[in-house]
Amino acid sequence: MKKPIRFCAAILACSWLFLMVEDVSASGFFHPEVGARSIARAGATAIGGDDLSAFYVNIANLANVDGTNLYLACIYDFFHTYYRREPYQDAVRNSNPFDPIQFAGISSDFGLDTWTFGFAVYGPYGVTNRWPTEGPQRYNIIEANAIQVYYSLGAAWNPTDWIRVGAKASLVNFKLINYYGFSVLGDRNPAFDVVGEFSAWTDFVPGWGAGIVVAPIPHWLEVGFSYLAPFDVVVEGKVKGDLPPLYGAILGYDVYEDDIRIPLPYPPIYRFGARFIYHELFDVEASAMYIPWTRLPYYDVDFENEDIIADFKYPLEWRDTWNYRLGGTYRYNKHFRFHGGVGYEESANPPEIAGTEADRRIIGTGLTMSFFGMDLDLSYTHIWQEDVETPLPGADFESELDDGRGRYKSSYDALMGALTINFERIYKAYNGHEPW
């Protein structure tokens, strides 16, 4: 009886790994920007950021945020994902209409001329991707939850008009919960599917980042660089499979469960950019981001009960990525600023590797309204993703396991609102020291 049990467990492990490639790439390898103005400019704020999204993009830009500020923001991601089973069997769309991601921060210069300090809590990734339980996509994904939260403390220094520098220390927390199905008999009947679950989490992991912006021609031209240091993450959790009655009777198992541990060395992130400024009327920025995903060549999978499944290394074959942004801001008057931008982002999964992720094209727009010492930002971005096919890695299982072969079409919309409350400006406005 141990042989079919080992086979069932191995199928569970391989199915889970396939899903993890998809889900982690969906929430980790695609880098949606943080902050309403950054989203409106399609991420082109590596040099010109002037709100607390500087914590994520370039901490040196914290020096652009004067006074004492409270920043509250929320982004709603709307998914439009379509899956068609190949050879054609059925088609389905994701079942969750949207997912929110929050951001909160506070900063102050404490009356100092050249220093700004701040603290922020934000989640560049915190999405749920949910599909019908018995849909044709179930052999790839039923539900995926990926949460990554940063707690960052930062400081920036701008001693002159031609330079600003910043640094931050962070604690990062990860949590992954995935559900999926597979059919050992390859019958494509949901009544005979095994429902798999993977759940893992980490303790807080320390990290840090730094940035610099230099103005060769102050008030006209700025260039800059930011760096997010790599950090080592170890996710620990469990893999579980709920067997239907038929399989349970054959194997003597109703549930297969084991503890699992996987080190995930997270790569560094490099951002570069240049910004042209015209008389405080408008600015245009071009920036690029480089992420060496090949730092993680494989998953080193460690099971607690090795008598069922031996530890193994799962090759990933990911590639390093370059991502590009072009955006700007037009200052209509002291109350209204309009933003816009476009971007292109490479996927860490090359086309020949299975997964639901592909290269993306991004367009964003938005505005900032400033009244009574407060800024209200409203932003919108649309993301197109190339179609991808999803065969199961490891053709050896193809004759025994429904491999979820199909085609994904997907796009995303994101709406974000942010409120910045500047306490000094509010005081001056309500005491008549400056126009509203």
Phi, psi of 16 (to 5 degrees): -60, -40
Q: What confidence score (pLDDT) does residue 10 get?
A: 45
Q: What confidence score (pLDDT) does residue 222 get?
A: 97
Cβ 173 vs Cβ 224: under 8 Å:
no
Is 140 a member of any domain?
A: yes
Say which CATH number the domain at 353 has.
2.40.160.60
pTM of the model: 0.85
3-state secondary structure the chain: CHHHHHHHHHHHHHHHHHHHHHHHHHHHHCCCCCCHHHHHCCCCCCCCCCCHHHHCCCHHHHHHCCCCEEEEEEEEEEEEEEEEECCCCCEEECCCCEEEEEEEEEEECCCCCCEEEEEEEEEEEEEEEECCCCCCCCCCCCEEEEEEEEEEEEEEEEEECCEEEEEEEEEEEEEEEEEEEECCCCCCCHHHCEEEEEEEECCCEEEEEEEEEEEEECCCEEEEEEEECCEEEEEEEEEEEECCHHHHHHHCCCEEEEEEEEEEEECCEEEEEEEEEECCCEEEEEEEEEECHHHCCEEEEEECCCCCCCCEEEECCCCCEEEEEEEEEEECCCCEEEEEEEEEECCCCCCCCCCCCCCEEEEEEEEEEEECCEEEEEEEEEEEEEEEECCCCCHHHCCCCCCCCEEEEEEEEEEEEEEEEEHHHHHHHHCCCCCC
Is 206 a member of any domain?
A: yes
What span, in angstroms and rounded, lies between the C-alpha atoms of 219 and 180? 54
Task: Tell me the per-residue pLDDT of 342-369, one tens digit each, with 9 for 90 and over.
Answer: 999 988 876 555 555 678 899 999 999 9
Is 435 a member of any domain?
A: no
Tokens in use for 36?
């309403």
Which residues, given as ranges, of the chain have pLDDT below 50?
Answer: 1-29, 392-401
Q: What confidence score (pLDDT) does residue 196 get?
A: 83
Is 436 a member of any domain?
A: no
Task: Tell me the per-residue pLDDT of 291-333, one tens digit each, with 9 for 90 and over.
Answer: 998 888 888 888 888 766 678 787 877 889 999 999 999 999 9
Q: What confidence score (pLDDT) does residue 8 get?
A: 46
Q: How many domains does the chain have?
A: 1
Residue with tokens 């086979």: 7
Nearest Cα to Cα of residue 267 among 167, 154, 348: 348
Q: What's the domain range around 349?
A: 2-430
